[in-house]
Amino acid sequence: MKHYLLLVGALLSANALLFSQTLFTYGNNTVSKQAFLTAFNKNPPKSTERRKALDEYLGLYINYKLKVQAGYDEQLEKQPSFEQESKNFRKQIADNIINEEVGIKALVDEAMARSQKDIHAAQVFVEIPKGGDTAKALQQIQAAYTALQAGKPFETVAATFSSDDATKKSKGDLGFITAFTLSYPIENEIYGLKPGSYSKPFKSSFGYHIFKNIGERAALGKRKIAQILIATPPGAGDAEKKKYLSLADSIYQLIVKGGSFEKLAAQYSNEYKTANVGGVVGDIGVGQYDAPYENKVFSIQKVDEVTKPFATEFGYHIIKLLEKKPVTKDITDAAALAAMKLQVEKDERLAISKKKLIAKWLVLTKYKPGVYDAQAFKTYTDSNLQGKITNGIKNISDTTVIFSFEKKKVRAADWAVYATKTLFQTALDYGPALKTFVENCCTEYYTENLEFYNQAMRDQCKEFDEANLLFAAMDKHVWGKAGEDVEGLKKYYSQHKEKYQWQPSVSALVVSCKTKESAAEVAAKIKQNPQEWHTLSNSYGGDANADSGRYELTQLPLKQPIENKAGYISTPEKNSNDDSYTFVYILETHPQKEQRSFDDAKGMVINDYQQVLEQQWIAILKKQYPVTVNQGTWKTVN
């Protein structure tokens, strides 16, 4: 009996503790103290005394929960528009949360730091031909590394051991690179080197490399340029090249004497994609073009400066500098970080970082390989790739489960769709492609079901859904209802006419124009002939918009003082939200208070009537979902 009483006492204490944290109940639902404070603290008052603000917010929060519950009970969340908005929001939030989980902030910070400098890089490169001898390529790169360790110059080793003609010819010189110039794994290797040092042999998807950091400089940023290209035909001899150089020189002289670069580009440039837009190439960054061309671009010091013609393998170029775009030095600048984030999101570094979390996601999603006949699976895949019928293959079919997650089965037919898009021929081993397919499916499944694995995702989705549900419920019971109940509006107007009075007011034209000059021009014409204001404003197309109406002086969209007399026209005033200008012209004055007609007062009547309907609805909801506030808990809220 003693043990029994102790157990009952413990249970009662636990229940009391649980209830003590319940702030209020409505119907069969409970709201905790913490949930209330979390909602309140999202937008705490800045000036009002906190306890008073808490008292006011409690009533608002209770009403909010009642309205949302009504929306759920009326199944408003099943409306197609609601479901689509919810789906779109979940995808957007899931992408953001996964990016945070992957560590996008660190990737952005890393890219910002790397973008502050350019590295003059070189490499020894031994290609691994498709289906070629990997061992032979490895042996060659190791020989190159041994030669470097023995003290041989990097240029000599690059020219001797590299397998491709371009690297041999340049003696390995890659020119300057910066963040995003090369693939992320290679960028990591180069940015991990100190000036003057070289790396150990590194394997990429292209082959084997040894990289060297020849030297560093402060980042040059980007240059916006235009160019005129006089192309030389492949295999052109010296005499023919002279002819093209002579043409380029004559064009340059015309520019020097004041000729239009844009018109000359349209007339002569052989770079047809840019010729019709004044030769504008756009932004040029470090490492995008061959070093000689790039060096010319970055050697131009002054905007609008034009180079003399210079030769590349494509012909003769004349370049004009349009704009210098230096790198942002402040790596904490919000705008620069936002732009860098967009670049990181599009880059392979984010995908590579995601791949590192696949193993964790496979566990979380309860990935389970299917049991199937491997040989039959190969035959099935081969048949799909060759466009053959697969119905007769023994031990496998389209519905065979090849792997599964907690709430999803992936079947052979799903693999067949993927395989036919990514594989172009049969192979002895589909292992690598199947592994990639599993990883892609896992990422997709985890993203679509992130709500079940991430508390932040659950909280944001719930908040979004409840906000949408509140809007739908308010539209059904208050906003839409008020607009449709014409008889109710007129009755309310008749009962409260004294609320809807015109204060001293004016009948006026309100005119907005795109520029200050056009506003002054329209104002002068309206002052001369105000009766033709509508025709006059229409004659300016979209450059001028005019409307007439009755306004109390405080309702006019201007900051300047307005004279209350007919014929007064204000000075055009710049609008705060754009570069347009607005002025008013007073047609008639109404110096006395007057009763507003129903049509004049309708907007205000609807607003007031909505409040009446909302209070009536809340009264009904409080009967439907009785509210009880736990005063003991409420006293501890601060």
Residue 349 lies in a domain: no
Average pLDDT of the chain is 92
Which pLDDT belongs to residue 323?
A: 96
Residues 375 and 419 in one domain: yes
Instruction: Give the count of domains, the chain.
Output: 4
Same domain, 236 and 156: no
**pLDDT confidence of residue 632:** 93
The answer to whether residue 137 sits within a structural domain is yes
Same domain, 258 and 286: yes
Confidence of residue 451 (pLDDT cuts 50, 70, 90): very high
Tokens representing residue 581 in the block: 């200008």
Q: Once rounded to an integer, what is the mean pLDDT over residues 566-570? A: 95
Domain boundary among 189, 218, 247: 218
**Does residue 293 lie in a domain region?**
yes
Does the pLDDT value for residue 85 go beyond 80? yes
In a domain, 399, yes or no: yes
Residues 173 and 234 both lie in one domain = no
Q: Is residue 35 part of a domain?
A: no
In a domain, residue 387? The reply is yes
- Give this prediction's pTM: 0.69
Of the candidates 352, 461, 386, the residue with the CA atom closest to the CA atom of residue 86: 461
Residues with Cβ within 8 Å of residue 554, at least 6 apart in sequence: none
- The answer to whether 626 touches 26, Cβ cutoff 8 Å, is yes
The amino acid present at 68, given as its one-letter code, is: V
Tell me: pLDDT of 612 over 60: yes
- The H or E element containing residue 282 is strand 280-285
User: Residue 431: what pLDDT?
Assistant: 86
pLDDT value of position 291: 86
d(CA 331, CA 270): 40
- Residues 516 and 581: beta-carbon distance below 8 Å: yes
Residue with the larger pLDDT of the pair 613 and 5? 613
Give CA separation, 234 vs 238, 240, 249, in Å: 12, 11, 20
**Does residue 172 sit in the same domain as residue 214?**
yes
Are 287 and 318 in the same domain? Answer: yes
Q: What percent of the chain has pLDDT over 70?
A: 96
Per residue in 514-560, pLDDT (tens digit) is 999 999 999 999 999 998 999 999 999 889 999 999 999 889 999 99
Residues 233 and 306 in one domain: yes
605 within domain boundaries:
no
Q: Which of 62, 82, 84 is nearest to 476 (CA)?
A: 82
- Boundary residue ending a domain (158, 186, 218): 218
Q: What is the pLDDT of residues 159-218, one digit of tens each?
A: 999 999 999 999 999 999 999 999 999 999 999 999 999 999 999 989 999 999 999 999
Does 638 have pLDDT greater than 80? yes
Domain shared by 143 and 172, yes or no = yes
- The pLDDT tens digits of the residues spanning 294-349 come to 999 999 999 999 999 999 999 999 999 999 999 998 888 899 999 999 999 999 99
CATH number of domain containing 261: 3.10.50.40
Specify whether 381 is located in the same domain as 288. Answer: no
Structural domain including 307 reads 222-325
Q: Of 589, 591, 561, whose CA–CA distance to 573 is shortest? A: 561
Residue 427 has pLDDT above 80, yes or no: no
Residues 259 and 188 in one domain: no
- pLDDT > 90: percent of the chain: 84
The string of pLDDT tens digits covering residues 235-276 is 899 999 999 999 999 999 999 999 999 999 999 999 999 999
pLDDT at 2: 42
* 271 within some domain: yes
pLDDT score of 1: 40
Residues 309 and 379 in one domain: no
With H, G, I as helix, E, B as strand and everything else as coil, classify residue 226.
strand
Domain boundary among 325, 348, 381: 325
More confident residue, 118 or 17: 118
Interatomic CA distance for residues 348 and 341, integer angstroms: 13
Question: String of b and e for 35-44 (b: at least 16 CB within 10 Å)?
Answer: ebbebbeeee
Strand, helix or coil at 242?
helix
Write the CATH number for 575. Answer: 3.10.50
Unique residue bearing structure tokens 């309140």: 40
Residues 159 and 248 in one domain: no
pLDDT range class, residue 426, cuts 50, 70, 90: low
Is there a contact between 295 and 256 (Cβ–Cβ < 8 Å)? no
- The contacts found for 353-359 with CB under 8 angstroms, 24 or more apart, are 353/102, 353/103, 353/104, 353/107, 354/98, 354/102, 354/443, 355/439, 356/102, 357/101, 357/102, 358/439, 358/442, 358/443
